[in-house]
Amino acid sequence: MSESTKSNHESFLEYKGKYRGILGWILSTDHKRIGLLYLYTMLVFFSVAAILGLLMKIQLIAPGHTIMGPATYNAMFTMHGIIMIFIIVVPGLPAVFGNFFLPLMIGAKDVAFPKLNLASWWIYVIGILIVLTSQFMGDGPPDTGWTFYAPYSFQTPANIVPALVGAFVLGFSSILTGINFVVTIHRLRAPGMKWLKMPLFPWTLYATAWIQILATPVIGITLLLTVMERTLGVGIFDPALGGDPILYQHLFWIYSHPAVYIMILPGMGVISEILPVFSRKRIYGYKAIVLSSLAIAFVGYFVWGHHMFTSGMSGRALFAFSFLTFLVAIPSAIKVFNWVATMYKGSLIFQTPFFWAVSFVFVFMIGGFSGLTLGSLATNVHLHDTHFVVAHFHFIVFGGTGFSFLAALHYWFPKMFGRMFDASWANMGWLIFFAGFLALYLPMFYLGIMGMPRRYYDYLPEFHGANILSSLGAILMIGGALIIIVNLVRSSRYGEKTNDKNPWGGKTLEWQADTPPTLENWEDIPEVTEKPYEYK
Partner 1 sequence: MSQEKPHISSYRSHVFVLAALIVLTGISVAVTTLELGRLDTLVAMLIAGAKAGIVLVWFMHLKFDNKLYTIFTVLVIVVFLLVLYVTFFDYSYR
Q: Which residues of this protein are in contact with partner 1, per CB under 8 A?
A: 187-188, 214, 218, 246, 250, 254, 298, 301-302, 305, 312-317, 320
Q: Is 17 helix (H, G, I), strand (E, B) or coil?
A: coil
Calpha distance 235→239 (Å, rounded): 7
User: Which C-beta is closer to partner 1: that of 262 or that of 474?
Assistant: 262
User: Which C-beta is closer to partner 1: that of 316 or that of 536?
Assistant: 316
CB of residue 241 to partner 1, shortest distance in Å: 18
The type of residue at 510 is E
Residue positions counted in the chain: 536
User: Which C-beta is closer to partner 1: that of 191 or that of 505?
Assistant: 191
CB of residue 375 to partner 1, shortest distance in Å: 16
Q: How many CA atoms lie within 13 A of 81 on its CB side?
A: 19
User: Which C-beta is closer to partner 1: that of 36 or that of 251?
Assistant: 251
For 116, counting Cβ atoms within 10 Å of its Cβ (0-12 exposed, 13-18 middle, 19+ buried), the class is middle
Helix axes 200-232, 286-299, angle to 10 degrees: 10
CB of residue 187 to partner 1, shortest distance in Å: 6
Distances in Å between the Cα of 134 and the Cα atoms of 7, 51, 120 are 43, 18, 22
CB of residue 348 to partner 1, shortest distance in Å: 39
User: Which C-beta is closer to partner 1: that of 187 or that of 536?
Assistant: 187
Cα dihedral sign, 507-105-401-478? positive
CB of residue 389 to partner 1, shortest distance in Å: 21
Other C-beta atoms lying within 10 Å of the C-beta of residue 195: 11
CB of residue 194 to partner 1, shortest distance in Å: 13
- Per DSSP, what are the bridge partners of residue 419? 497
User: Which C-beta is closer to partner 1: that of 25 or that of 298?
Assistant: 298
Which residues, other chains included, contact 51 with Cβ-Cβ below 8 Å and sequence gap of 6+? none
User: Which C-beta is closer to partner 1: that of 188 or that of 366?
Assistant: 188
Distances in Å between the Cα of 343 and the Cα atoms of 44, 282, 349, 416, 436 are 35, 9, 10, 26, 26
CB of residue 105 to partner 1, shortest distance in Å: 17
Which residues, other chains included, contact 45 with Cβ-Cβ below 8 Å and sequence gap of 6+? 83, 87, 88, 128
Q: Helix count (H) and strand count (E) of the chain?
A: 18, 0
CB of residue 414 to partner 1, shortest distance in Å: 31
User: Which C-beta is closer to partner 1: that of 317 or that of 330?
Assistant: 317
Q: Which residues of 48-71 are buried (b: 16+ CB within 10 A; e: fewer)?
A: bbbebbbbbbebbbbeeeeebeee
Backbone angles phi, psi at 230, to 5 degrees: -70, -40
Contact 102, 184 (CB under 8 A): yes
User: Which C-beta is closer to partner 1: that of 24 or that of 235?
Assistant: 235
User: Which C-beta is closer to partner 1: that of 302 or that of 446?
Assistant: 302
CB of residue 298 to partner 1, shortest distance in Å: 8
The end-to-end CA distance of the chain, in Å, is 42
Calpha distance 82→90 (Å, rounded): 11
User: Which C-beta is closer to partner 1: that of 218 or that of 476?
Assistant: 218
CB of residue 317 to partner 1, shortest distance in Å: 4
Contact 488, 430 (CB under 8 A): no
CB of residue 225 to partner 1, shortest distance in Å: 15
